[in-house]
């Protein structure tokens, strides 16, 4: 897995290659690190899409939108759309293994060729 090790070590054969990159469990503890956002961006073709899912670990919708806007301010990406959805997700404690959790799905569009 190359995600999160930095664009400089991200294999060139994967840069500018994909029309769509998806991420779930992204940017949360024990999952893909936040630096992987740059690798996902590098993997996208020009006018390609990055779809990611963030859950309530990030807090309120306003906090999540601030995080997304901060990320896209660092890279040439356009915020397209977001939607809230409930999913059955595993619980970290392992008691009552699954519960309904509110998650946010985001669609971003790449605006730069690498």
Q: Is the pLDDT of residue 29 over 70?
A: no
Q: 0.85 cut: is pTM over it? A: no
CATH second-level architecture of 12-110?
Answer: 3-Layer(aba) Sandwich (3.40)
Where along the chain do its domains lie?
Answer: 12-110
> Is 99:49 a contact under the CB 8 Å cutoff?
no
Q: What average pLDDT does range 76-100 have in this prediction?
A: 77
Q: 16 or 27: whose pLDDT is higher?
A: 16
Chain-centre distance for alpha carbon 32: 9
- DSSP structural state of residue 12: G
The predicted pLDDT at position 48 comes to: 92
Q: Kindly indicate the confidence band of residue 45, based on its pLDDT and cuts at 50, 70 and 90.
A: very high
Q: Which pLDDT belongs to residue 35?
A: 77
């Amino acid at each position: 897995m190359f995600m999160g090790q930095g664009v400089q070590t991200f294999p060139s054969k994967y840069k500018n290659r994909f029309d769509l990159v998806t991420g779930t469990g992204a940017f949360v503890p024990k999952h893909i690190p936040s630096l992987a956002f740059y690798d996902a961006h590098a993997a996208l073709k020009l006018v390609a899409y990055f779809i990611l899912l963030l859950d309530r670990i990030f807090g309120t919708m306003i906090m999540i939108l601030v995080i997304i806007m901060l990320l896209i301010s660092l890279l040439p990406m356009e915020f397209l759309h977001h939607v809230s959805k409930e999913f059955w997700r595993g619980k970290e404690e392992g008691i009552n293994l699954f519960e309904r959790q509110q998650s946010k799905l985001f669609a971003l569009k790449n605006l730069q060729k690498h």
